A and B are shown apart, each in its own frame.
Chain A
Amino acid sequence: MINILELKDVNVSFAVESSNLHILRDVSLQVPRGSFLCIVGESGCGKSVTAQAIVQLLPDNGRVDSGSIKYFEDGKTTELNELEKFGTQMRSFRGAKIGMIFQDTLSSLNPAHRVGRQVAETLRQHLKLSKDEAKVRVIELFRKLGIPDPERRYNAYPHEFSGGMRQRVMIAIATICEPDLVIADEPTTALDVTIQAQIMTLLKNLQKSAGKSFILITHNMALVSEVADHVAVMYLGRVVEYGSVNQVLRSPRHPYTQALLQSVPSLEADKKIELKTVDGQTPSPADVTTGCEFAERCIYAIETCKNQLIPLLTFEGNHQVRCNRIDENGNLPKPNKVGINV
């Protein structure tokens, strides 16, 4: 399996006031070419930061401290984090080879520019087309994405669209140059369920039909089961489990993943059984410095979990887990505390 993107032991920190918050911890994941990777986790676990780090769009106080982010294309490997942030090379990736779709469409689109122009901007930046040539392509893409009356919509402003339509505009911006990798950061979280379904189908089709690689960032496990080929589970800045969607969803190995999956409500569940929750609250990245981040809330945790480096275990089919308590067979011991409501 050839990868299009590989992250290895990426560490990102944010300088806040006088301290450094360690936001991403040894993040490693791979995106095989043509596949759909979902990065899941609760709010604040660093999913968005990972996406930002890939394209070097971290906020001013953020830095990649160590690790490598490699992009592979036709025999050429580029270390993205080594490129200059606003240099020509890095910019040649953004928009053209890596497209980004953001969550909040109303604030992510320039309210003073017409949407057509905003999409055309990407095109004209990378392909040096004329205004009219670009317009034609944009309208065509609008049509393909299901935006009705695209010729007129070309001249509309973002605030004149509904949420779902705006998201299509964002998708247009991200895909118009046909990048090989598209990163979507919670693209449907703010949308209605029905619209959500439409958008996800769109994205999935884009991926399948054009053979593009996708990274979808979400906290919605149901979505993951529908579209993902691979899943990376993150907790407090660390990838705790990585594998194919079947591996992770059907046979999760990490205690956090297990807890996460058990706490997802399902329509078929017996109403008499209490909703399962994960005990405790997500600590702040400033509080956890050594050991496993999940140790506080983990029902299998022992003392060593809190103060030693947690090994990365790889099981068959490249199913990776970071855990101290899993033995060579991939089994967890008996839980030593009642952490999950039974």
Chain B
Amino acid sequence: MIPMALAISAIIFFASRLSPIDPLNSLISPDAASDPTNLAILKERLGFNDPIFVQYFNWLLEISRGNFGYSIQSGQPISEILALRMPATLELVLAALIISTTLSLLIGLVAGSNRGGLTDKFSRALAAIGISVPDFFIGLALLNILAYRVSWFPTGQRISPGQVTFVDRLPHLILPVATLSIAMLAVLIRYTRNSVLDTINRDFVKTARSKGLPEWKVMWSHVFRNSLGPVMVLIAFRLPLLVGGAVLVEAVFQWPGIGDTIVEAVTVSDYPVIMVVSLLIAVAILFASFLVDIAKSILDPRVRLGATIE
């Protein structure tokens, strides 16, 4: 994980040094850059005459101190940009994550336990279509139908004039979250259903039934409970999907988040922004996997350490 984060940031860093745009602009405030003597001194001090590896480590050091540099395009400190835009993306991503995970678990459970039934067929159809439809298209379709034609929802962006609280803003959130959730759902359902199917055939389910337990209890306490573990891990590995999806959804709905930021940055080759955001994404994924590991050990007692009782 860590090597990955470093590798990505290293690639970008080195590539940015190859770009024609003077990287110095990104590390200092625009005011200081206007004086040429100042510039030369700064150049020396900021280590631009050092070998590239040293520069890279210095950059990392700065990042760890919280100094994220400045955007080439706008001159804004990147930390400000992040602070401004992160909440929007977090809202979107977390909501979609929770909704799609919960729904996929429930649907997967029903589909898996009623093999061949309606829910099963529905989930398979959803999965089949899901991989053939570009996710953002769902967003466009929803927008067109529900926002423009019927005015049930606002047509994009995060906030309308006059809205103050979160509840006010809620209508804005619904379509983007729905789009991202549906996209995730199509992918996750397959795994939850399979996990349930795998679990149903396990021996302890037979034991549970041999106790005379009602089917719902067998399904819930035994099947569902035990299919959660593997599913959690699978879901976690698909978290990056959320990031990719978020970028597109933010574009469709003009949602002012990090996805939008990075698209803009790429359009104008704003390397500093790209580097920081990439590093951020890598770290976020690292963190998320860590959380999943914890969740896994809670769900599966075998993962925890313990002695054998003889």
Contact = CB atoms under 8 A, between A and B. Distances in A.
Whether A associates with B in a native complex is yes
Interface of A: 55, 57, 60, 86, 91-96, 99-100, 102, 104, 107-113, 121-122, 125-126, 153, 156-157, 159-162, 165, 170, 173-174
B35 interface: no
B307 A96 contact: no
Interface residues of B, number: 28
26 contacts: A57-B210, A92-B212, A94-B212, A95-B210, A95-B211, A95-B212, A95-B213, A102-B207, A102-B210, A107-B202, A110-B225, A111-B226, A111-B301, A112-B300, A113-B225, A121-B208, A125-B212, A159-B301, A159-B302, A160-B307, A160-B309, A162-B308, A162-B309, A165-B310, A170-B207, A173-B211
Nearest to A110: B204
A111 B226 CA distance: 8
Interface of A is mostly: mixed
Contacts of A165: 309-310
Contacts of A104: 203
Given A107-B204, A110-B226, A112-B226, A91 B306 contact: no
B207 A173 contact: yes
B3 interface: no
Contacts of B214: 86, 91
B299 interface: yes
| Most B-side CB within 10 Å, residue of A93, A121, A153 | A121
A117 to B, nearest CB: 9
Given A107-B202, A110-B204, A111-B226, A91 B213 contact: yes
A333 B37 CA distance: 118
Interface in B164-217: 202-204, 206-215
A110 B208 contact: yes
| Most B-side CB within 10 Å, residue of A157, A161, A162, A174 | A157
A86 B114 CA distance: 14
Contacts of B229: 112
Contacts of B208: 110, 121
Contact of B211 (A111, A125, A161): A125
Contact of A55 (B115, B210, B213, B215): B210
B124 interface: no
A102 B203 contact: yes
A161 B301 contact: no
Contacts of B222: 110, 113
Contacts of A125: 211-213
Contacts of B299: 112
Contact of B302 (A111, A126, A170, A174): A111
A55 B304 CA distance: 36
B207 A108 contact: yes
Given A108-B207, A153-B309, 7 more contacts: A96-B212, A102-B206, A102-B210, A110-B204, A121-B208, A159-B308, A160-B309
Contacts of B225: 110, 112-113
A93 B212 contact: yes
